[in-house]
Amino acid sequence: MKNEREKLDVIAAYQQVGSYRGAAEICGTTHKTVKRIVTAALAEGPGPARRVRDRNYDAVAVLVRDKIAATQGRISAKRLLPIAVAAGYVGSARNFRRLVHDERLRWARSHHRGRRPGVWAPGETLIIDWGVQNGLHVFCAVLAWSRWRFVRFARDEKATTTMALLADCFEALGGVPKTVLADRMGCLKGGVVANAAAAAWCAEVNGVTHSEICAVPAEQLEQPSSHSGWNMKW
């Protein structure tokens, strides 16, 4: 004679494999025993529904829900507790805080503002971030539209390091995007980034010796004659 636990195992095995003999092999019994247990379980039908236990704050649940909706989820359990006590609540403050927490979550889920998907344009937005791998700082930049990536390693995450790597990123990119997004936007003000990039560019350009193309030519153009048109001497 099998106990209730063994009967449940037989029923579960039958539901899994779908045959009496297969369930019998899994449970180590005969197919006739499996059939008898399954037939008896089907004849009994589903068990009685589980009774939901009453909670001591059910009487004020509607009151809490209305107050949360009226304040758009901003009212706290501390403010609501005296109102609930006046309305007949006799439970503990802990249970009441649990009620307020659940109702605020329910209200927030039904009144969320939603998220707008990012709409990117070519060359418009560059997203940057820092990471750490085995003590080495990693600077990452991604163009939002084309997914072009720029990765460099550094010893620290100082503002000067970030600006220098941004300048390198712009040089590798061959241009400057309209917007740079970072998780710490305070160190990436437009004036700061533009001035730092401009200073680096000016230092690089002014430090290079002019080539022959930029030099003064050895032979200059003759002055135009007053009697004829322009005479050029090469």
pLDDT digits (tens, 9 = 90+) for 64-79: 999 999 998 889 999 9
Calculate the dihedral angle through the C-alpha atoms of 104, 105, 106, 107, rounding to the nearest 10 degrees: 50
pLDDT at 195 over 80: no
Does 118 map to a domain?
no
Does 132 map to a domain?
yes
Start-end of H helices in the chain: 4-17, 20-27, 31-44, 61-70, 77-86, 93-110, 159-173, 190-206
192 and 133 co-located in one domain: yes
Residue 28's pLDDT is what? 84
Residue 22's pLDDT is what? 85
- Give the pair of three-digit tokens for residue 97: 């805080």
Confidence of residue 141 (pLDDT cuts 50, 70, 90): very high
For residues 215 and 115, what is the distance between their CA atoms, to the nearest angstrom?
Answer: 58
**Cα torsion angle, 12, 17, 21, 24, sign:** negative
Does 53 map to a domain?
no
Domain limits at 77? Answer: 58-110
Residue 21's pLDDT is what? 86
202 and 158 co-located in one domain: yes
**Digit-coded pLDDT (tens) for 162-181:** 899 999 999 998 888 988 88
Residue 145's pLDDT is what? 87
pLDDT at 161 over 80: yes
- CA contacts within 13 A on the Cβ side of 37: 27
38 and 68 co-located in one domain: no
Number of domains into which the chain is organized: 3
Residue 231's pLDDT is what? 46
103 and 135 co-located in one domain: no
Q: In degrees, to the nearest 5, what angle opens at C-alpha 177 toward C-alphas 175 and 180?
A: 135
Does 84 map to a domain?
yes
pLDDT at 188 over 60: no
75 and 129 co-located in one domain: no
Q: What is the mean pLDDT of residues 132-160?
A: 89
The percent of residues above 70 in pLDDT, for the chain, comes to 72
154 and 201 co-located in one domain: yes
pLDDT at 198 over 60: no
Beta bridge partners of 130: 139
For residues 222 and 203, what is the distance between their CA atoms, to the nearest angstrom?
Answer: 37
Residue 196's pLDDT is what? 56
What mean pLDDT value characterizes the chain?
A: 79
36 and 66 co-located in one domain: no
Does 104 map to a domain?
yes
34 and 77 co-located in one domain: no
Residue 56's pLDDT is what? 85
140 and 175 co-located in one domain: yes
Does 175 map to a domain?
yes
200 and 130 co-located in one domain: yes
Sequence-ordered list of residues with C-beta below 8 angstroms from that of 210, at least 6 positions apart, any chain:
none
Does 211 map to a domain?
no
Does 225 map to a domain?
no
**Digit-coded pLDDT (tens) for 6-63:** 888 888 888 888 888 888 888 888 888 988 888 888 887 665 556 667 788 888 999 9
Residue 169's pLDDT is what? 93
